Amino acid sequence: MEAQDGAELCFPELLNTSCQKPKPRPLETALAYSLFIISLVTVVLNLLVIISISHFRQLHTPTNLLLLSLAVTDFLLGLVVLPSEIFRSRNCWFLGDIMCVLLNSLSLSISFASIANIVLISIDRYVAICYPLLYASRITTKRVQACVCLCWLYSFVYNSLLTKDDLAQPGKLNSCSGICLLVIDNTPGIVDFTVTFIVPITAIIFLYTRVFLVVVSQALAMHSQTAVVSLSVTVKTKKSELKAAKALGTVVAVFLMCFFPYHCATLLQDTTDSFQISFIILCINPCLNPMIYALFYSWFRKAIRVIVSLQILQPGSREMSLRRHSQE
């Protein structure tokens, strides 16, 4: 059965209230295929990170636990968020209003957890570079585990509160049956924009600006003849910490570059094709992080070889040495 204008309906039996089946434009079709490829690559690469850090005992360090948490969020983004966006953009919503609200809340929680993990990584590098003598005592494995758990708990609680009205009256703002929308009122929207954009981005930029200034001052000091003696004891540690700061700084920089276009378009309420492009840029970020690890970390490259060659199944593989230095 079709509507009077010839458009096919999502629910033909609901002639007056059913939405029309979406007819994606060429750009939307290209977007869907792009998101599918990005989703697949994101899941595979981040699964390698999760297996590497979880399996090999040598990699159980505070910084790597933060990378593990970030990899889990990126994995879920590729496994849950991106496929749901593909489905919603090309099909009618047949799973009901309650499932729509739950999926929206889950997607928001995963996305916010990703941002929160980037903030935790920035704090980790800030303490490691700016207060190296205090790092071992302040940033412990148990404290990082507690922070990661609180990060995830806060993400789910916050976004549950944000979508509680939709859960109480699912689908109340839907103009027709067969769509799944996330609508946030002006006041909660401003609060959410501040909590999920302004505050985290400000904290990240502030922390990495401090890290950059300290790194520059250390580089100048290392080239100063008067500082050679005082730095000789810690130069090995400094190099490893600076390498980690460079790698994770790249992760943060790439995150910001992918993050800004989408949220700027959202803030300006842009509904043109540029919004679709900014959304693709945002979705690319989760699959880039493992590539950055492979570029900077030899332990990740070696872990991939061990996993792909199935050496990981051998007895005692958990104790395998993947790196020469504890902070490599």
Per-residue confidence band for 23, with pLDDT thresholds at 50, 70 and 90: confident
In the prediction, which pLDDT does 326 show?
45
- 23 half-sphere exposure, CB direction, 13 A CA radius: 5
In the prediction, which pLDDT does 234 show?
47
Instruction: Report whether pLDDT(53) > 90.
Output: yes
Residues 6+ apart with CB under 8 A from 303: 48, 51, 52, 56, 59, 322
Structural domain contains residue 271: yes
Please tell me the distance from the alpha carbon of residue 122 to that of residue 116, in angstroms, as a whole number: 10
pLDDT tens-digit map of 82-94: 888 888 777 788 8
Q: Quick one: average pLDDT of 40-59?
A: 94
In the prediction, which pLDDT does 41 show?
93
Q: Which of 82 and 242 is assigned the larger pLDDT?
A: 82
| The pair of three-digit structure tokens given for residue 104, joined into one six-digit string | 């929206």
**C-alpha torsion 34→40→45→46, nearest 10:** 100
- With beta carbons less than 8 A apart as the criterion, state whether 101 and 166 touch: yes
Structural domain contains residue 328: no
Q: Which of 72-76, 105-109, 199-203, 234-238 has the highest mean pLDDT?
A: 72-76
Amino acid at 211: V
Structural domain contains residue 274: yes
- With beta carbons less than 8 A apart as the criterion, state whether 297 and 240 touch: no
In the prediction, which pLDDT does 184 show?
67
Q: Quick one: average pLDDT of 4-8?
A: 59
Residues 6+ apart with CB under 8 A from 220: none
CA separation (Å) from 86 to 131, 169, 204, 238? 45, 25, 30, 45
Please tell me the distance from the alpha carbon of residue 65 to that of residue 59, in angstroms, as a whole number: 8
Residues 6+ apart with CB under 8 A from 284: 38, 258
Give the residue numbers spanning the domain of 128: 26-319
Residues 6+ apart with CB under 8 A from 2: 8, 9, 12
Q: Which of 225 and 150 is assigned the larger pLDDT?
A: 150
pLDDT tens-digit map of 293-304: 888 888 889 999
Instruction: Report whether pLDDT(211) > 60.
Output: yes
Structural domain contains residue 314: yes
| The pair of three-digit structure tokens given for residue 270, joined into one six-digit string | 């842009």
The closest of 122, 90, 291 to 208, measured between CA atoms, is 122
Q: Quick one: average pLDDT of 39-51?
A: 94
CA separation (Å) from 139 to 61, 145, 222? 10, 10, 26
In the prediction, which pLDDT does 68 show?
95
Structural domain contains residue 269: yes
Angle in degrees, 0-180, between the axes of helices 273-296 and 62-76, rounded to the nearest 10: 150
Number of domains in the chain: 1
Per-residue confidence band for 266, with pLDDT thresholds at 50, 70 and 90: low
In the prediction, which pLDDT does 117 show?
93
Per-residue confidence band for 236, with pLDDT thresholds at 50, 70 and 90: very low
Rg (CA), the chain: 23
| Rounded-to-5 percentages of helix, strand, coil across the chain | 75, 0, 25
Instruction: Report whether pLDDT(16) > 90.
Output: no
Structural domain contains residue 21: no
Q: Quick one: average pLDDT of 34-41?
A: 88
pLDDT tens-digit map of 149-188: 999 999 999 888 888 877 777 777 777 778 877 766 667 7
Structural domain contains residue 5: no
CATH code of the domain covering residue 312: 1.20.1070.10
pLDDT tens-digit map of 269-290: 655 556 667 777 878 888 898 9
In the prediction, which pLDDT does 306 show?
92
Instruction: Report whether pLDDT(213) > 90.
Output: no
Instruction: Report whether pLDDT(223) > 90.
Output: no
Q: Which of 135 and 22 is assigned the larger pLDDT?
A: 135
Q: Which of 23 and 289 is assigned the larger pLDDT?
A: 289
Structural domain contains residue 19: no
Please tell me the distance from the alpha carbon of residue 303 to that of residue 52, in angstroms, as a whole number: 6
Instruction: Report whether pLDDT(226) > 70.
Output: no
SS3 per residue for 52-88: HHHHCHHHCCHHHHHHHHHHHHHHHHHHHHHHHHHHH
